[in-house]
Amino acid sequence: MSGVLDRLIHELSAGALQVIDLSRPLGPETAVIELPPPFAPSPGVTVEEISHYDERGPAWYWNRLAFGEHTGTHFDAPIHWITGRELPDNACDTIPADRFLGTACVLDVTAEVATDPDFLLVPPLIEAWESDHGRIPAGAWVLLRTGWSERTDPAAFLNVGEDGPHSPGFHPAAVELLARERDVLGLGVETVGTDAGQAGSFEPPFPAHTIMHGAGKFGLASLCNLDRLPPTGAILIAAPLKIVNGSGSPARVLAIVPA
């Protein structure tokens, strides 16, 4: 029991470390982002049986799946956004696999979001978090805990009004700080996308996509169970399918935490 990997397995089986599933179920009920016309819509999930222990396959059951790359709990690759289109190793199949693991910094704005669904994380709140927990290290995932994953009803989760969706996210200055001065691995959120609902009218539009992906960084959307993570110290595993030229992928996102 000397090596770090032996200790990891021992502590997992002894219950000193736990695996937390940060992924939501992926199925026909999964709510997908609603983009206004003239933009092409996200298609949602369809599941079609290929066989079910029947004449189509007497001893096997399997399904044909269809969905957009950005569906449910999913990973955003830099190639998703025009700002990241020319970067090296910017797609699901070319990102080096060691970048699918990182430490997680969890910033809790649940109380603020409870009274303001359009709440945005701003730089002073990042600095306040750092004075409590230490500087966000390079290569860390920054996870925004909002409580939004408790909205299991699709309409409440998307929260679309006449003036578009209302959901929390990051102020452009916060994204700039995290991308350029902290050199994070990426941003993770409980909402349908990494940008706030109203972010289409920000400057720049969709800063969590425009700035992060332009800097070669990633996104994770529709996470859950962030309330089960410590502010620091969790290890996150978030690997997209190895889709050739993929802009993103549903992912099983896991965290390893002290029990």
Residue 230, number of CB atoms within 10 A of its CB: 13
Active site annotation includes 80: yes
**Interaction between residue 76 and Mn ion (CB under 5 A):** yes
Chain residue whose CB lies nearest ligand 23J: 193
Residue 122, number of CB atoms within 10 A of its CB: 14
Q: In this chain, which of 24, 80, 151, 182 binds ligand 23J, going by CB under 6 A?
A: 80
Whether residue 96 is preceded by a cis peptide bond, meaning omega within 30 degrees of 0, is no
Q: Which does 31 bind (CB under 5 to 8 A by kind): Mn ion, ligand 23J, none?
A: none
Distance, CA of 33 to CA of 117 (rounded, Å): 16
Distance, CA of 46 to CA of 79 (rounded, Å): 25
Are the C-beta atoms of 146 and 189 separated by less than 8 Å?
yes
Give the interface size with Mn ion as a residue count (CB under 5 A): 3
Q: Which of residues 24-53 bind ligand 23J (CB under 6 A)?
A: 33, 35
Residue 229 DSSP code: S
Q: Which does 206 bind (CB under 5 to 8 A by kind): ligand 23J, Mn ion, none?
A: ligand 23J
Q: Which of 155, 184, 148 has its CA nearest to residue 169?
A: 148
**Interaction between residue 195 and Mn ion (CB under 5 A):** no
Residue of 80, 171, 209, 213 with catalytic role: 80
Q: CA of 243: how far to CAs of 39, 77, 96, in Å?
A: 23, 11, 13
**Interaction between residue 190 and Mn ion (CB under 5 A):** no
Q: In this chain, which of 22, 31, 70, 179 binds Mn ion, going by CB under 5 A?
A: 70
Q: Which of residues 203-242 bind ligand 23J (CB under 6 A)?
A: 206, 209, 221
Residue numbers of the site for Mn ion (CB under 5 A)? 70, 76, 248
Residue numbers of the site for ligand 23J (CB under 6 A)? 33, 35, 70, 76, 80, 193, 195, 206, 209, 221
* Catalytic sites, residue numbers: 80
